[in-house]
Structures are given as structure tokens and as C-alpha cells.
Chains A and B, each alone.
Chain A
Amino acid sequence: MRPDTVFDPMLQHERTALAWERTAIASMVSGTLLARRAADLHVSLAALGLLQVVLGAALLIWTGLRYEQLHAPLRRGESPAHPDAVRIIGLTTVGFCGAATVIAIASAMT
């Protein structure tokens, strides 16, 4: 049986989930490069980049789970806003971009 109305016209929900997944993958790429660059300065600093890769992988899993969980609230007409997720991703990205900048300046000075 076909539903009366199309759920999620223009696939906003799926597109948003894909945007989260692309962001997680970009974070893992950036983390790999940070680990490579930081290792040149000091081996233990590579952990910073590896941490970013692990967090990116965790985000990839979380975003897949959230995609499934959001179907019901969206059908009920509830707001899908998730300020905490936005805050955490915003702050960690600032942290890793800042750490990469500091590492680049430090290795330029040595």
C-alpha cells in the first residue's frame, strides 16, 4: 500500500545524513595528514592526528544511527535540531585546525 503523502520531499533528511558522513570522512582525511605532519616534529604528536581519525570514525557511526532514529520524530513533526552535536563538532574542528596551525608554526621555527 502506498502512503498518503510522500515522507520527506526532496530527501532533506537523507541529504543531511550524507553531509554528516562527508564531514566525518573529511575529518579522517585531515587527521591522517595531521598525524603524518606532527610525527615529523615529534613522534608522540602523531597521536593528535590519530585521535582525529578515531573521532571521525565515531562520528560516521553516530551519524548513521541518528539517521535511523530521526525518522520517527520527523514524521511526528518534531524539530530535528541538535545543538549539542553542532557544538561538539564545531569545537573539535576548531581544536584540530588550531593544533595543526600550531604544529605547522612550531615546525617552521625549528
Chain B
Amino acid sequence: MTSTPDHEQNAYRQGAPTPTPRPLERWFPRDPTTVGDDPDYRFTLANERTFLAWVRTALALSAGGLLALTVLDDVRGEEFLGIALLAISFLTAATAYRRWALNERAMRLNTPLPSSRLPLLMAIGVAVVSLVAALIAALN
């Protein structure tokens, strides 16, 4: 038993720099593999799969948006549906690398994984889009 939490000891041992406030690094963090120790390879691969799952979610949303614009061409309100799905896909893709880098960094420094509001935002966003789609279907 030690009085300092694990992650503080690790941060001290590694001389880990605190995350910088520069805007670019907020969305595009530096290479996380330069700090800490290699974790169990299964954790690294699980993090990689999670990143890929977010990328696929972004691609599926963009495919849905593009399909809405192409297939529902003569339906009123299809522009809103398509653009909303594409905007959500852009936001999802834009946060994917950041999530991967912060998770990898936390695993290498043995600190808790960072929490994210993205799953909640995604659920709300898709729910709103579904409601709008139902409304469009009812009105046409």
C-alpha cells in the first residue's frame, strides 16, 4: 500500500508532460507511444479496434446521409436529413484520433481511461435525426 495513487507515481517516474492547451494538440494530440510503458498488447489492439469502430460509425453515417440525398431526391426535407447525418459523421470522424491517442496515453501511464460525452451526443443526434425522418415520412 502506498499513499500516492499509481498514476501519480507513474507520471513522476516518466516525467510525463502535462497535456498542453494548444488548440491543435487538443484535437490532434502528439504521439502517445513516446510516454510510459508498453501495455499488454491486447489492450493496445482493443483500443485500435475501438478507434476503427468509431471510424466505421462515421463512414456509416456519411453513407446514410449520402443515400438519403440520393434516394429521397423528390422528398421534401431530404436536404436537412442528409446534411444532419453528414455533419454528425464529420464530428464523429474528427474526434476518433483524439480518443485513440488519449486512451493509448492513459493505458501507457496506467491512469484511468478518459471519459467521453461522445456516445451520449451520438445517441441524442441519431435520435433527433430519426424523429425528423419519421416526421418527413409522415408529411410527404
Q: Are A33 and B45 in contact (CB under 8 A)?
A: no
Q: Are B83 and A26 in contact (CB under 8 A)?
A: no
B-chain residues with CB within 8 Å of residue A108 when the two chains form the complex: 79, 82-83
Decide if A19 is an interface residue (CB 8 Å cutoff). Answer: yes
Q: Are B63 and A30 in contact (CB under 8 A)?
A: yes
Chain B 8-51 near chain A by CB (<8 Å), digits 1 or 0: 00000000000000000000000111000011011011101101
Decide if B56 is an interface residue (CB 8 Å cutoff). Answer: yes
Given contacts A23-B55, A90-B55, A94-B90, is CB(A33)–CB(B67) below 8 Å?
yes
Total A residues in contact with B, Cβ cutoff 8 Å: 42
Q: Are A81 and B56 in contact (CB under 8 A)?
A: no
> Once bound together, how far apart are the Cα atoms of A48 and B41, in whole Å?
36
Q: Are B83 and A104 in contact (CB under 8 A)?
A: yes
In B77-104, the 8 Å CB interface with A consists of: 79, 82-83, 86-87, 89-90, 92-94, 96-97, 100-101, 104
Given contacts A23-B59, A26-B63, is CB(A80)–CB(B45) below 8 Å?
yes
CB distance from B129 to the nearest CB of A (A): 14
Query: Helix, strand, loop or mixed for chain B's interface?
Result: helix
Total B residues in contact with A, Cβ cutoff 8 Å: 43
Query: Helix, strand, loop or mixed for chain A's interface?
Result: helix
Query: Residue on B with the closest CB to A108?
Result: B79
> Once bound together, how far apart are the Cα atoms of A82 and B48, in whole Å?
9
Given contacts A83-B32, A97-B89, is CB(A90)–CB(B97) below 8 Å?
yes
Q: Are B96 and A30 in contact (CB under 8 A)?
A: no
Q: Are A100 and B65 in contact (CB under 8 A)?
A: yes
Q: Are A79 and B62 in contact (CB under 8 A)?
A: no
A-chain residues with CB within 8 Å of residue B62 when the two chains form the complex: 30, 33-34, 96-97, 100
A contact residues vs B (CB 8 Å cutoff): 10, 12-13, 15-16, 19-20, 22-23, 26-27, 29-30, 33-34, 36-37, 40, 74, 77-83, 86-87, 89-91, 93-94, 96-98, 100-101, 104-105, 107-108
B contact residues vs A (CB 8 Å cutoff): 31-33, 38-39, 41-42, 44-46, 48-49, 51-53, 55-56, 58-63, 65-67, 69-70, 79, 82-83, 86-87, 89-90, 92-94, 96-97, 100-101, 104
